[in-house]
Amino acid sequence: MYDVIILGSGPAGLTAAIYTGRANKKTVVLAGSALGGQTGEIAKLENYPGWAGSGMELIQFMKKQAESFGAKIEFASATDIKFNDDNTYTVICDNGKNLDTKTVILATGAKARRLEIEGAREFFGHGVSYCATCDGFFYSGRDVLVYGGGNAALNDALYLSDIAKSVTIVYRKSEFFRAEGILRDRVAEKENIKCMYNTELKSIAQKDGNDKLIVTTTDDREIETDGIFVAIGHEANTDYLSENIKRDDMGRLDPSSLPAGMFVAGDVESNIKMQIATAVGTGCTAGMNAIAYLNSKE
């Protein structure tokens, strides 16, 4: 029987593990298939105070810190959570294990929202990508398109501009209202980045005779490109939860609606900014709340 099972190995989950480990609570972090979630994919992390390395370097540092306080890291994911009659939980894992625990902290983060147009699914992994840092090197010296207009899209475009020959950002609004000013300025300074505003995509097809893609817009313009990187927001990773757990339209969770002994942190929590600093703060809160809950039962 664990005191705490933490689902997710991003900044929120690892922060919670640091706190529960330091409180001598028997803790395991179910890290999923890869450590760090979205943070682990950030090539250069600039907006987390006190850190100047990559996202994965930060995650590795936090992992070692959590482990130093006794937290265990296990590479598995939850497929279901059962609430038991004695007010404990059983976490059903995809590695065949069933783990019993007194509390659960949900810190499973979010995944990129998929593009739902003709050809998007067909060419996923064959020209359509949702991770610039994962797949950017395939497009060295080539022409790419970034679809989106928030911080993630502009960061992707800036990252790709150092690899690709050219980057075209396609955005449905008239300017980058949602992106930080410093990112807008950096994009404007890049000679190999151009922007197409007031434009939406309708379909993706392959050009006859080669591996280039033809992207058709809703006003029937055609854009020829080697690859498309989609950055149009995120959806919370909460599919493993039962239907009686209330979610918002992004699949995120309200802490006040969760049953006793269940806590939430990071991008999966509703009504917070999806930032690393926020994830760390909510991870701290969830960890401390779990500790208080456990202590109240002793």
Whether 284 is a known active-site residue: answer no
In sequence order, what DSSP letters do the residues of 57-105 get, joined into one string?
HHHHHHHHHHHHTT-EEE---EEEEEE-TTS-EEEEETTS-EEEEEEEE
Q: Out of 94, 100, 135, 254, pick the active-site residue.
A: 135
Q: Out of 93, 94, 131, 284, pick the active-site residue.
A: 131
Whether 135 is a known active-site residue: answer yes
43 DSSP assignment: S
Q: Where are the alpha helices (DSSP H) in the chain?
A: 11-22, 55-68, 132-135, 151-161, 181-189, 276-297
The answer to whether the CB of 23 falls within 8 A of the CB of 252 is no
Q: Out of 134, 211, 239, 248, pick the active-site residue.
A: 134
Whether 195 is a known active-site residue: answer no
The answer to whether the CB of 147 falls within 8 A of the CB of 201 is yes
If one counts every other C-beta atom within 10 angstroms of the C-beta of residue 176, the result is 22
Indicate the helix (H) or strand (E) that contains 215. Answer: strand 213-217
If one counts every other C-beta atom within 10 angstroms of the C-beta of residue 259, the result is 12
109/253 Cα distance (integer angstroms):
11
Active-site positions read 131, 134-135
